[in-house]
Every structure is written in C-alpha cells, then in structure tokens.
Amino acid sequence: MENQKISSSFSRERFSFLPIKRLKFIKTRKKAPVSDFNNETDFQTIKRVLPLLLIGHILLLAATPVLLSLMHYKSSIIEITCHWDCHWYAAIAKGGYITPLIEQRDPGQDTWAFFPLFPLAVRFLSKITHLDIETSALWLNACLLPLLILATMLYAKAKNILYSAPLFCLFFLIFPLGIWYRIQYSECLYGLLLMMTLYFMQKGSIQLASIPAFLLTACRPTGMIISAVIAFFHFISAFTEPDYSGSTFHSDKKKKISFYHCLCTSQKIKALIESSSFFIISASGLAFYMIYLHQITGDAMAFSHVQIGWHRYFANPIHHLIHDIHAHHHGFALDVFALAGVALIIWGFFKGQWLESLLLTATAILSLSTGINSIHRIIFANPLAIILCWQMITPLSRPIRNTLFSIMLLSDVILTIVWLHGSAFLA
C-alpha cells in the first residue's frame, strides 16, 4: 500500500529548486523500508506503541536504583541525581529570583540566567503533590518523557521519515545523550514544547503552535531564536507550496513567475501575517520574563549579563570552536562532540531536512557564541538531533542496527554511572 503524501508547510519537496539537489557527487543512500502504518491516524499509532513505550520507560527508570545499589551508594536517588544546573533550578523553585544586593553580592543572583518555566512547573507540582522540589523535578521529567517521545514520533510520522514506531520509541529511550531527559534538567520540557510547536505547524495549525512556542521562549534562551527560524521557514514555504501559484517560482508549464507576483498574491500575504503573529505571540514568553527582570533588577537583560559574569562573552562561534580545539580548554571529548554536532547538521542539510538542520544550526551558533561548554547536551539532547540520528540508522541492515542498539544501551548505562559520580564532563 502506497504511503499517502502529507501536505505540510515543511515538506522536503518544496525545496527541490535548491542547487544542492543537483550536486552529482552526493550519493543518496538506499531508502529506509517503509511501512503502511502512516495510513493510521495519530491516535491509532499512539495506542499501538504506548504500552511498549511505558514498559521500556519504567524499566529504564528502575535501572537507576539498581545501579545505585550495585555501587553501594548511601545517598538517595534524589540527592545523587541532582547536580550542577539542578541546584540552580531548585533554588529558583524554592525561593524565586533574588533581588540584587548593594553592598554584598549574593550567589543567588546567578539564577537570573535560568529561565522561569521549568522551576515554575516544578514548584506547581511540588505544591499539589507535597513532595520536595528535587523529587518533584525528577517526577516531572519522568511524566514528560513519554509525551516527548510520542510528540517526536508523530512529527517524524508526519514527515514520512518514520518506518517503525516501536523501534523509534526504543531508539529514543536508549539514546545515550538523552540522560538529561531523565534528571532534574529542563531539556525534557523544552524538547516537548519544541516538538509540539513543530507538530502543530506541520499539521498547519498556526494558532495551536503559538501556545507551546509562547512557553518555549520562557523555558530556554534558545527559544526565541527557534521561534524566529520557524516563523521565517513558514513564510518562505509559501513560495514553494504546490497549492500556491508556483512551487519553485515556476508554474507547471515552466513559465517563470516573478518574485513580485508571488509576494503580492493573497496566499503570500496570509503566510506573512501568520508568521508575524506566530513570532509575536511566541516572543511574548521572553518579553514577560524580561519585564519581570526589569522590575526586580532594573536590567531586562540580566539573564544575559550574568553569563558575562561567568566569563562567557559573546564572540564568533567559529573562533570559539577552533580556539578550544587547539587549546583543549574543556577537554578532548567536548571537541569531538562539537565536531560531531557540526557533521550531523551538515548531513541533515544534504539529506534535505532543512528545518531540522536550520534549527540545530541556530541552536549551535547561539551556544558556541559564548563558548563550547555543554555543547554535547545542547545539540545531542535535542529531539531534532535524535531524529537526524534515527534517519542515519534506518537504512542499515537489521544485524548492524541491533548491534548499534546494544552499544547505545551500554553507553546509556555508562553515562548514567558517570552522572551519578557527579562528573563535570556532563554538566
């Protein structure tokens, strides 16, 4: 049964006019096997994979206490999993943001660099469950992770790049650098909001997409840039949508259509209005946080100025990358992850995944502009990077893929142990 083509504003076919499609030296891999589950409704797909997803998720959560017992840790799982940024988020959830002192600098002022949505969600859950903050943060991510995997799966399904929903869920669960989805970090909430935004945009529901996008900009500094890229991508898609007057600035009769003619059509004006309204609504999340910071500190950009206090100055991201590779200021492993992230993004462009690659590029540039710190988490703990990695393994044979899955599971266990030891490498 042939797969039905899903009309979307982010489809790959609409960028067939780009010259990259005509490069002779780029060899396309054998296409991944395709299943007819794409003819299912989204609800049917969720219903089919949900039991397996929950079982796998529970088993992985149960593995952490087992590892603690094997390593003879005396601390509780809550204490042993809360490191680095977890303490900052916990401080915000417990006492809010600190008003600046005049004569003495309070360390709590550094919390301005951390956006409010995740600590607010943790505090809300703590209030209704009467659990402590650290425990609430752990349970929040434990509940959000299945939702994140389902949202990512449905987005991949809508993009026609998902040939096995159960395998994709397993791949996501054991993805080694997905450890930050299970600990008290904001990656899980951020990823869920990102994938909800992309899924609703993929389905053509701009109004629904604006809601998670609004929350996205209140969750992480990259949310604003991500929303801008999505809005821009939606606008330019109007010039390549087959339903419009020309799919690639040319009609079906190969008669050239001027850029001015395309711009003046009602569809293009509608796309401009939709993109602008989407961006304005999404930017409001960041705007509210900036207004709040202005009220308590007098500095709406305090979240950025704190980074300067941490000696993370804005500079050319390429300079940061090259300088760190030569100097090894943050270790060889981070350099490898940074280069691997760049290679993954370039591969995504070659495969025609323009939106995913553009979003990862924007994320990487914003992160590298202040240094190479945490680049492995910022790139590879992003569901879009997991989607690209999924596309890389789908053409592989079953024996190779099974071997790769085993290596991933082992790596996940090793990184979990490293995190429990409090290694600064994973901060």
pLDDT per position as a tens digit, 66-123: 888 887 777 788 888 998 899 999 999 998 987 765 445 555 567 889 999 999 999 9
Query: Taking the mean position of all CA atoms in its chain, how far away is CA 390?
Result: 14
Residue 258 identity (one-letter amino acid): S
Give the C-alpha separation, 321 to 335, whole Å. 8
- Written as one letter, the residue type at 228 is A
Q: What pLDDT score does 331 carry?
A: 67
How far, in Å, CA of 392 to CA of 345, rounded?
Answer: 12
pLDDT at site 242: 52
Q: Where are the alpha helices (DSSP H) in 298-374?
A: 302-309, 317-327, 332-350, 354-368
pLDDT for the residue numbered 106: 54
The helix/strand/coil state of 31 is coil
Question: What is the per-residue pLDDT for 378?
Answer: 94
What is the reported pTM? 0.86
Residues in the chain predicted with pLDDT less than 70, given as ranges, are 1-38, 100-109, 241-265, 327-331
- Residue 114's CB is within 10 A of a number of other CB atoms, namely 20
Question: Any residues with CB less than 8 A from the CB of 68 and at least 6 apart, and which?
Answer: 77, 80, 420
Name the residue among 365, 383, 382, 376 with its Cα closest to residue 340. Answer: 376
In three-state secondary structure terms, 8 is coil
